[in-house]
Amino acid sequence: MQPIIHSKLPNVGTTIFTVMSQLAVEHGAVNLGQGFPDFPMSDELTSLVDKAMKDGFNQYVHMNGLPALREALAAKATELYHTPINPETNITVTPGGTYAIYTALTTALQPGDEVIVFEPAYDSYIPNIEINGAKAVRISLQYPNYNIPWQEVRASVNERTRMIMINTPHNPTGAVLSEADMIELASIVTGTKIIILSDEVYEHLIFDGIAHQSILRYPELFERSFVCYSFGKTYHCTGWKLGYCIAPESFMKEFRKVHQFNCFTCDTPKQVALSQYLTNKTAYLTLGSFVEQKRNYFRALMADTPFTCIPSHGSYFECYSYAGFSNEADKDLAIRLTKECGIATIPVSAFYQNGEDNKVLRFCFAKKEETLEKAVASLKKNI
């Protein structure tokens, strides 16, 4: 008799990203659903990886990450956000930003803890909370600007509240937190034992002259925070699955206990290459304007469609409302557009546990111009 495995995530099935990407393949649709670029990454960076491998950097690297890479990241963060970061005690390199988020949650949470999560939310958050025996307290961002309702946050805090999760720039909406938001957050957590997990994987993909409000800018917030980042989003190499976490020394000590018995360490030659490439500050400082041009180009293409833009100020994504021309469920419309119009998107209801449907689809604009042109031309022709 085969043993039975009792699922730790009984309500989780195949993700909407997998579903829509497979549908795009089946129907030959342009995939503006999943968030990855289709343009090449830096030749210089790939050459540095090649050189690192040929130079023999192919064995295990330090569990916490290549020292030279951690030193470069600490210098970068300190310069950008004016909070001293120690490469030895504050930074661990991880196999991707999602892994860093999972490890931070596993480090901090105990069964019965509550975590305040804002929806629409990146799809890993709530399963990661639940698999650790904690409870996600879901608060909806205020549609259509996707602002945080801080009074509702205050009302939700109680003695079981262990963590508040924030994400800026935000996936899926492209909303960004302001200085006023950070001040509100600080006022709520001051004098409590609440930990903050800040997902900042899109830190350099921010537009319209807005400054990224990293937790690292606020020492009183950083002292209670895990802050998670992604190299894949910064250097157009999502398939590398490399990221890192920055946290206070006491938090990082516990984070590394979980890390060492999970992946233990990360890809060596890529860390060597990144430690050298980080000296090229222009590569990350100009990223926002580069991707903003793609957002603007996509907006211009979409202006002649019946969709209504919900402005994005960061990330790879912009959301569009279709409430003005259809009452279809967003998942149904996303499937129909893939099959009939040759363009794959993501229904924003997929980012809500209760399936809240505001008649909004998410489009990824981090693509070549010809890809965006093909997608929107097909949409206009068939919608």
Strand, coil or helix: 39: coil
76, 278 Cβ separation under 8 angstroms = yes
Across 117-140, average pLDDT: 97
For CA atoms 290, 347, 99, 368, give the dihedral sign.
negative
| Predicted pLDDT of residue 15 | 84
Q: Average of pLDDT values for 124-144?
A: 97
How many angstroms separate the CA atoms of 351 and 288, rounded?
25
For residue 277, pLDDT beyond 90: yes
pLDDT in the model for residue 11: 86
Q: Is the pLDDT of residue 13 over 90?
A: no
For the cut 90, the answer to whether the pLDDT of residue 382 exceeds it is no
106 to each of 88, 95, 101, 125, how far by Cα in Å?
A: 22, 15, 9, 12
Confirm whether pTM is higher than 0.95: yes
CA 358 to chain centre: 22
Task: For residue 111, give both structure tokens.
Answer: 């069964």
The H-assigned helical ranges of the chain are 16-27, 43-54, 67-81, 97-108, 125-130, 150-156, 179-189, 219-222, 231-234, 249-260, 268-277, 281-285, 287-302, 330-341, 369-382
Task: Report how far residue 380's alpha carbon sits from residue 96's, in angstroms, rounded to the nearest whole number.
Answer: 37
Going by pLDDT thresholds of 50, 70 and 90, the confidence category of residue 16 is: confident
Q: Write out the two tokens for 263.
A: 């992946």
pLDDT digits (tens, 9 = 90+) for 236-256: 999 999 999 999 999 999 999
Which pLDDT value is given to residue 17? 86
Give domain 16-41+285-382's CATH architecture.
Answer: Alpha-Beta Complex (3.90)
What is the DSSP pairing of strand 161-167 with strand 195-199? parallel
- Average of per-residue pLDDT across 304-308: 97
Mean pLDDT, rounded, for 132-159: 98
Element (H, E) at 267: none
pLDDT of residue 12: 87
pLDDT at position 148, please? Answer: 98
Q: What pLDDT does 360 receive?
A: 98
Token pair of 199 as six digits: 């997902």
The residues, ordered by sequence, that sit 6+ positions from 374 with a Cβ below 8 Å of its Cβ are 30
Which of 220, 240, 219, 215 is closest to 230 using CA atoms? 240
Predicted pLDDT at 348: 98
- CATH 3.90.1150.10 in the chain is located at 16-41+285-382
Please list the residue range(s) of the chain that carry CATH number 3.40.640.10. Answer: 59-279
Strands 161-167 and 225-230: unpaired
State which H helix or E strand residue 197 sits in: strand 195-199
CATH match of 59-279 with 3.40.640.10 = yes
The Cα–Cα gap between 381 and 383 comes to 6
Over 90: is that where the pLDDT of 14 sits? no
pLDDT digits (tens, 9 = 90+) for 174-193: 999 999 999 999 999 999 99
Rounded mean pLDDT of the chain?
97
Q: Give CA–CA dist 77/215, Å, rounded.
A: 11
371 pLDDT more than 90: yes
Query: How far apart, in whole angstroms, are the C-alpha atoms of residue 129 and residue 268?
Result: 30
Using CB atoms within 10 Å of the CB of residue 294, give its burial: 0 to 12 exposed, 13 to 18 middle, 19+ buried: buried
What is the average pLDDT across 140-146? 98
Tokens linked to 287? 């990223």
